Structure formats: C-alpha cells, structure tokens
C-alpha cells in the first residue's frame, strides 16, 4: 500500500500549534482502521519458570504482594491477567513426581543455574493466583527429549484444575538454538504437538507456536526475512497441518544490555519515545496480519516482552519512564491488533550472554520484587501502575476498540513518525476507545500521554501540554472525569511516590485518597512525563 500524501494524513487527525497546546481535530466517530475488540487480559504476565516460586510463593508461604497486585488488575476488568510460565529456563526444567519442594533450582557455587525441577507442590501454587487465572505453560524443546516433555505436559494437564491451562508452548526462543530453520523446527514441533495431543486426549488446537526472540528483518518478504524462524514461516512450512496450533507468540525487547554495543543505546530518553516504540512494533505488522488471517482474530500474542533484554538497566527500566513506555507499548500494540502482551518477570541468568551487564538477584525491569534479593528489598516499581491504567481503560467492556488519534496513522497502518509530520517528536500520544455496544459516534475514553522528559532531579518549572479534546465530546457532555498516572519525574524509581488516580500501590493495595477530577470545557493539561485517562 502507498502511504497517504503527508498533508492529508496529518491534517486528518490533528492541528498542532506547539508542544504547549494541541487541538485534536476529530472526527469523533469510530476510525475505519480501529482495532479488533480488546482482550480483557491485554496486560498479562510472563514469569520465568525458575523464578516462579520467588514470585508466587508456595501453598504454605504464598506471596501476598504478588497476590494483591494481580487481584488489583482483576478487580478492574473482572478477568485476571493471564500468566505464561516460561522463559529460557523452561528448556531446562524437569518434572519429578517425588520432589518434596515445589521447585528446585540446581545452582553451582559460581552462581550458574544449570536446571530446574518441579514436583507436585508446584502445580498447587497455581491455586494461589486470582480465581480464574489462565495459564500458558512452556515445555522443553532444546533437549530433544520427547518423553521428558510428554511427562511434563501430562503432569501439567493432570494437576491443574479444569480449564486453567489454556495452552502450551514447546521451546522458548527456539530461533536461538539447534540452528533451526522454519522447516527443521516444524518437522519436530508439529509431530510433538500431535503426539502430546493424542496421548493426553486433547482434541482442540492447544499449542502456542514459535515463542521466537529475533526481531523481524525489514523489509518484509525478502529471502532473508522469509528464512527467519517465526510464526508465519513455521505455519508456511506446515506447522498447523495437524490442526494443533491455537495461537502464535513472538517476543519483543526493544533494547538490550546483553552486549556493550547495545548497552550504549539503552537510554531513558530513547525508551520513552512513541516514534521509536511504534517503529519497533510496526516491524511485526505484516506477521500480525498473516497470523490473524490464518488462526483467527485473537491469535497473535507478544508472549514475552520487556524494555531492555538481559534483565534491564538501572535508571532506565526500573523508572517511571518505563511505566510510560509500558503504557504506550501496550496500547500501541493493541492498536495494531496484538491480542495480549505478557510482560516478563524474572532474574538475570549467569549464562545468558558472556558480555551481559547484570548478574544475580531479580531483573531491573520487573514490575515488582516479591522477595528481598541481591538487587534490593521487596518493592513495587513505578511501572506496575501502567498496568492499572490499561486495566481501567478496558474495565468491564468486551466490545472496546482502540484507535490512534495522535500522531495518527499512515495509509499502511503504521504510526506517523517524527520524520513524517509528528510535530511532537514522539512525545504526545492520544488513543481513543470506542465501545461498539454503546456508540460509534463518540469514544467512551481517551488516553492522553505526554512523554516529554521531566526528571525529579530537574530544576525549574515542569512543562505541560494542554490537549483540546472538544471535537470528541458530544454536545450533552458538560464535563469529563480525569484520572492521572503521575510521579515526580520520569527518573523516579519508587512505587511509593508513583500515583494512579491519586493512590500508591507500594504495599500491594491502594493507599491514599482516590482522585478523579471533573473538567469542563474540553481542555486537559497533562504535565511532561505524565499520562491521563479521560472518561467521556
């Protein structure tokens, strides 16, 4: 497809005077390219297998912080976040029916985690999650031990309560081992899924394919791009010939500290930039379209993601800026029809890369530390509150569609970039939410993001942008309700000074007075490094 002429694409969505003032030009009606219905579990989690009991605890010692933080999300949508149990350690996790503890990590004195064993108590920890939590379980492919993988799959199916296990993956990031091509992967993966399905009497498609790590090569459709192992290339090689594929997962990490070269690029200001995160996620658009055509509307998930791979970076991924990145990433991905995103929680693994920055403890990109560890005490990070924002966007609606209002879209569906006319340089972002069951004339909510950098450590007045949303208000609306996601700056690392609707969640539960403003007149001021949810 050709992009729209620049002026048309731009003037169709906004008239921007300057950063201090932006008037959204409408129209207020449902955009023709609005997303599919948002999945209520859009904001979901991936928890590294070896760190499972660190996060969830066990039956005699449940982790109350984790329980409360997950319940807060369920309370807003009525549906729990989904949890994928997996990651690199899933390929070295074994089932042992006589193990007494829930989970055992074999770690040598040099700190290397060699493998993980789970026993019967492990499955009981699934009952510690909010009632109704769906689980996707990641099995081992790398060891090419079909019997071992079948044993684990059998234990998972037999020990989780009916309906809780909604899918299984075989292999984590298989594009990083065994020199798989789409064909050689498919030749193993497909019969394994078929044989496991037969052995366990699973009739409906039950497997989540790929779970691959590498970013798509661009441009799309070249010989090199087609040779990458991913959902689309595996499906093309016949991976669904036996109708075992339910969904597709690919992983996204926009930045990395796995090596010194990429370490230089993993900065806070680059992270908190809409142009950059949209350009990154746009690499997946052709795959998302293809997968949805083949497997259904809700079939493409980002099954593991975070901002900075190899466990994050201090001052970047543990900040409120990461919260703004997480919010924009989740909403932008939803706008290009990603069904659910599973933000990864875990810890650095000694053998992930010989040049990595982080060693030991829990990851610097985690949304909370459920236990004290080498990197700090029990703690909730600012970015947790971004997931509260997303959950409140969705609420109880099951017919909500998201549309990009600012900077808007090109004809091919990609976000308008800084180069193509986003006058805010990737700093101002507006999404609209239309509820199909109510009205297609006006959105029910708007998310206004001001990503302009402002630090707690910055001197001087905090800049602010006023968004004029009057074109989106019906004439009967006299005022709108506004909830804010706030912190003293993008560099803040503490949940106890990060507020959602005026409340902190540093101890797992809401503290402070719920604050919701009523604003008349259609002009909403949003400070630099702040986001607001407007209820129309």
Ligand X SMILES: *[C@@H]1O[C@H](CO)[C@@H](O)[C@H](O)[C@H]1NC(C)=O
Binding site for ligand X (CB under 6 A): 3, 33, 35-36, 58, 60-61, 75, 78, 94, 96, 98-99, 101-102, 106, 114-115, 117, 121, 146, 186-187, 190-192, 195, 201, 203, 237-238, 241, 268-269, 273, 275-276, 282, 285, 289, 297, 315, 336-337, 410, 412-414, 418, 425-427, 453-455, 458, 491, 494, 496-497
Nearer to ligand X, 258 or 492 (CB): 492
Nearer to ligand X, 26 or 78 (CB): 78
Q: Taking CA 143 as the corner, what is the angle to CA 235 and CA 163, rounded to the nearest 5 degrees? A: 60
Nearer to ligand X, 213 or 380 (CB): 380
**Full DSSP string of 155-207:** HHHHHSPTTTEEEEEESSSGGGSTT--HHHHHHHHHHHHHHHHHHTT--S--E
Which of 36, 262 has the CB closer to ligand X?
A: 36
Judged by beta carbon, residue 47 or residue 237, the one nearer ligand X is 237
Q: Which long-range contacts (CB under 8 A, 24 or more apart) does 265-270 make?
A: 266/308, 266/313, 266/316, 267/316, 268/315, 268/316, 268/319, 268/321, 268/453, 268/490, 268/491, 269/453
Least CB distance to ligand X at residue 407 (A): 11
Return the bridge partners of 500, or none. Answer: 485, 503
Q: Residue 195 CB, nearest distance to ligand X (Å)?
A: 4
- The runs of H, that is alpha helices, within 78-145 are 120-124
Task: Write down the H helix ranges in 239-348.
Answer: 260-265, 268-271, 274-282, 285-295, 320-335
- Residue closer to ligand X (CB basis): 241 or 474: 241
Cβ-defined contacts of 141-146 (< 8 Å, 24+) = 141/91, 141/170, 141/171, 141/172, 141/174, 141/188, 141/189, 141/192, 142/91, 142/92, 142/171, 142/174, 142/177, 142/178, 143/91, 143/92, 144/178, 144/188, 146/192, 146/195
- Torsions phi, psi of 16, nearest 5? -105, 125
CB of 530 to ligand X, least distance (A): 13
Q: Are 500 and 385 spatial neighbours (Cβ–Cβ below 8 Å)?
A: yes
3-state secondary structure of 406: strand
Instruction: Select 251 or 401, whichever has its Cβ closest to ligand X.
Output: 401
Least distance in angstroms from the C-beta of 329 to ligand X: 14
Closest CB 300 distance from ligand X, rounded Å = 10
Kindly give, in sequence order, each residue whose CB lies less than 8 Å from that of residue 280, ignoring residues fewer than 6 positions away: 215, 252, 254
CB 312, CB 272: distance < 8 Å: no
Q: Are 315 and 458 in contact (CB under 8 A)?
A: no
Both tokens assigned to 436? 């199909």
If the CB atoms of residues 117 and 470 are measured against ligand X, the closer one turns out to be 117
In angstroms, what is the minimal distance from the CB of 134 to ligand X? 17
Which residue's Cβ has the minimum distance to ligand X?
238
Smallest gap from residue 121 Cβ to ligand X (A): 4
Nearer to ligand X, 102 or 136 (CB): 102
Shortest reach from residue 416's CB to ligand X, in Å: 9
Considering beta carbons, is residue 494 or 530 the nearer one to ligand X? 494
Which is nearer to ligand X, 143 or 470 (by Cβ)?
143
Q: Tell me the closest approach of the beta carbon of residue 290 to ligand X, in angstroms.
A: 11
CB of 237 to ligand X, least distance (A): 6
Strands 499-500 and 245-256: unpaired
> Nearest-CA neighbor of 252 among 298, 209, 294, 308?
308
Helices 64-77 and 384-394: crossing angle in degrees, nearest 10, is 30
CB of 355 to ligand X, least distance (A): 23
């Amino acid at each position: 497809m050709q992009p729209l002429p620049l002026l048309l694409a731009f003037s169709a969505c906004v008239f921007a005077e300057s950063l201090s003032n932006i008037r959204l030009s409408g129209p207020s009606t449902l955009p023709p390219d609005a997303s599919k219905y948002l999945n209520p579990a859009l904001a979901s989690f991936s928890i590294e297998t070896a760190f499972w009991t660190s996060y969830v605890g066990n039956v005699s010692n449940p982790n109350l912080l984790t329980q409360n933080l997950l319940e807060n999300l369920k309370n807003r949508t009525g549906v729990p976040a989904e949890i994928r149990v997996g990651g690199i350690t899933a390929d070295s996790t074994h089932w042992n029916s006589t193990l007494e503890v829930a989970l055992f990590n074999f770690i040598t004195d040099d700190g290397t985690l060699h493998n993980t064993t789970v026993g019967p108590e492990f499955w009981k920890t699934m009952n510690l999650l909010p009632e109704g939590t769906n689980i996707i379980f990641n099995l081992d492919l790398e060891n090419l031990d079909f019997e071992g993988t079948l044993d684990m799959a059998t234990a998972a199916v037999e020990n989780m309560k009916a309906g809780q296990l909604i899918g299984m993956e075989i292999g984590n990031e298989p594009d990083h081992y065994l020199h798989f091509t789409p064909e050689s992967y498919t030749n193993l993966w497909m019969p394994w899924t078929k044989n496991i399905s037969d052995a366990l009497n699973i009739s409906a498609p039950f497997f989540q394919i790929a779970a691959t790590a590498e970013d798509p090569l661009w441009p799309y459709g070249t010989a090199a791009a087609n040779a990458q192992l991913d959902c689309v290339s595996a499906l093309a090689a016949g991976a669904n010939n036996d109708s075992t594929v339910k969904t597709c997962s690919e992983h996204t990490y926009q930045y990395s500290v796995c090596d010194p070269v990429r370490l230089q690029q993993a900065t806070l200001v680059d992270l908190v930039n809409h142009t950059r995160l949209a350009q990154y996620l746009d690499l997946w658009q052709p795959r998302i379209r293809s997968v949805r055509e083949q497997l259904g509307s809700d079939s493409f998930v980002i099954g593991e993601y975070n901002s900075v791979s190899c466990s994050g970076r201090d001052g970047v991924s543990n900040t409120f800026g990461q919260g703004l990145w997480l919010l924009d990433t989740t909403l932008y991905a939803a706008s290009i029809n990603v069904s659910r995103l599973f933000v990864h929680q875990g810890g650095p693994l000694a053998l992930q890369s010989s040049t990595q920055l982080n060693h030991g403890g829990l990851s610097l990109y985690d949304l909370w530390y459920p236990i004290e560890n080498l990197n700090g005490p029990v703690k909730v990070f600012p970015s947790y509150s971004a997931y509260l924002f997303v959950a409140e966007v969705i609420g109880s609606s099951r017919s909500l569609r998201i549309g990009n209002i600012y900077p808007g879209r090109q004809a091919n569906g990609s976000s308008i970039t800084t180069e193509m006319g986003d006058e805010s340089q990737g700093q101002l972002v507006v999404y609209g939410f239309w509820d199909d069951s109510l009205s297609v004339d006006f959105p029910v909510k708007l998310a206004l993001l001001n990503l302009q950098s402002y630090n707690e450590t910055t001197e001087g007045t905090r800049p602010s942008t006023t968004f004029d949303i009057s074109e989106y208000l019906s004439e009967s609306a006299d005022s709108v309700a506004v909830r804010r996601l706030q912190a003293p700056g993008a560099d803040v690392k503490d949940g106890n000074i990060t507020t959602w609707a005026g409340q902190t969640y540093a101890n797992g539960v809401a503290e402070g007075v719920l604050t919701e403003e009523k604003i008349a007149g259609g002009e909403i001021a949003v400070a630099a490094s702040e986001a607001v949810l407007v209820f129309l």
